[in-house]
Structure 1
Amino acid sequence: MTGALVFQALSTLCVLVDETISNRLIEFYSTQYVSASVTPSDVFQLQTDAFVSQFLSSTTNNFLLSLAMIRKTTQSNTLASGQLTNYRFYPDIYGDLFTISAQYGDCTCSSSATCISQYAVVYYPNLTEIFPIPGLYTGCYIIESLLQSSLQCFYDQACIDNLLLYLGSSTFINVTALDILLSIQFLENSTIADILDQLMVEEWNSS
């Protein structure tokens, strides 16, 4: 169930980053450069580079600060996940509800919001693990496990083929592995947090 939500969360982050950059570019393009005298070309170039550098750092820092504030607020208030990934609710004999903290490996969500364990394709009803998915994690909160995950499996065609096999879709799905050679600064095992630290941008074009 939470597997689909991981990719929905990733898609949401992509949209938020795209909107953030677009809005900041609108502000940046509306900035006017005014000088009381003719600015030498070398000085103008240095100032332009400084403006661009400031734009990149402020855009990145503001986005990450907003995300960090949301994460800290969620964690500090111990909010229950809508998918019950951090706490389970059970009724007692009187009909009252009590909670039990979920556990991932040796880590419990009551002690840390960043507990994770590796995602795996599981056979029901006996919950036998069939195929662990490299780089993909589940945990107390979908966003926290996503940030610690990577797209490692999706650079490996064999891994993708295994996933498609166990999905058991009745229709053919043609999925091609990502090409690491097209990446400039990210690696196969770069976490989503690492990618987000760069606003998911491989390379900025300031020309």
Structure 2
Amino acid sequence: MAVTEEILYIQAQENLSNYISLAQTTLAQILLVIRRTMSGSQFVSALETNFYVGYPPLNVGDWSQPKMFPVVSGNCSCFSISGCQRSAHIRDSQDQLIVVPEMIIDCYIVDSTLASTLECYYDLACFQFLHNSSTEMESLLSTYVNNHFLIRY
């Protein structure tokens, strides 16, 4: 019995959809395990997305050692285990804040990944905007470094 091209195509699409769904579910489960481990162990993100190192105000506390302070966004503190979700923004070349579609910032990167759709990475226009923004930032940083940290032989 011969299988028509249409039936073969439909079966292939169903198999692909099932595989994608399984991969998404597996990734979400792995990220949730990582999130629970990080939250339970009270990890501090190296990117300072949940806590940052600083000194207390001059009139408060001991200035002999830096302290860890939670990142605060509005009335939400990353000291809370529930996190602080907010929209991701990027500054454009005119110094305007642009919202990155469906991308969420949170206290831990794993929480940001779980809350975001990541559609900007597969939308060509959005991806190009992100790429151009990172190129501008790289250019600004290298100019700053060249102007302030010249190495002379």
TM-score (normalised: structure 1) = 0.42
| Residue ranges of structure 2 left out of the alignment (5+ in a row) | 1-22, 57-61, 137-153
C-alpha distance in 2 between matches for 1:140 and 1:103: 9
C-alpha distance in 1 between matches for 2:64 and 2:111: 32
Residue of structure 2 in register with 1:72 after alignment: 36
* 1:158 corresponds to 2:103: no
Residue of structure 2 in register with 1:147 after alignment: 114
C-alpha distance in 2 between matches for 1:159 and 1:61: 25
Q: In structure 1, give the amino acid aligned to 2:126.
A: C
C-alpha distance in 1 between matches for 2:131 and 2:27: 35
Percent of aligned pairs sharing the same letter: 24
For the 8 Å contact 1:113–1:141, the answer to whether it is kept is no
Q: Deviations over 1:118-141 (max 9, x none)?
A: 1121259xxx44321101122211
Residue of structure 1 in register with 2:6 after alignment: none
**SS of residue matched to 1:135:** strand
C-alpha distance in 2 between matches for 1:60 and 1:152: 14
Q: Deviations over 1:24-79 (max 9, x none)?
A: xxxxxxxxxxxxxxxxxxxxxxxxxxxxxxxxxxx998876664343212112321
CA RMSD after TM alignment: 3.3
Q: 1:148 to 1:61 in 2, by over 3 A?
A: closer
C-alpha distance in 2 between matches for 1:64 and 1:159: 24
Q: 1:158 to 1:141 in 2, by over 3 A?
A: same
* 1:84 corresponds to 2:51: no
Q: 1:113 to 1:88 in 2, by over 3 A?
A: farther
Residue of structure 1 in register with 2:64 after alignment: 95
TM-score (normalised: structure 2) = 0.54
Q: In structure 2, give the amino acid aligned to 1:94.
A: W
Q: 1:60 to 1:112 in 2, by over 3 A?
A: same
Q: Deviations over 1:146-202 (max 9, x none)?
A: 110112224544323433443447xxxxxxxxxxxxxxxxxxxxxxxxxxxxxxxxx
Residue of structure 2 in register with 1:49 after alignment: none
**SS of residue matched to 2:99:** strand
C-alpha deviation, 1:90, in angstroms: 1.2
For the 8 Å contact 2:84–2:107, the answer to whether it is kept is yes
Q: How many residues align?
A: 108
* 1:117 corresponds to 2:99: no
**SS of residue matched to 2:44:** coil
C-alpha deviation, 1:142, in angstroms: 0.6
C-alpha distance in 1 between matches for 2:123 and 2:34: 33
For the 8 Å contact 2:31–2:110, the answer to whether it is kept is no
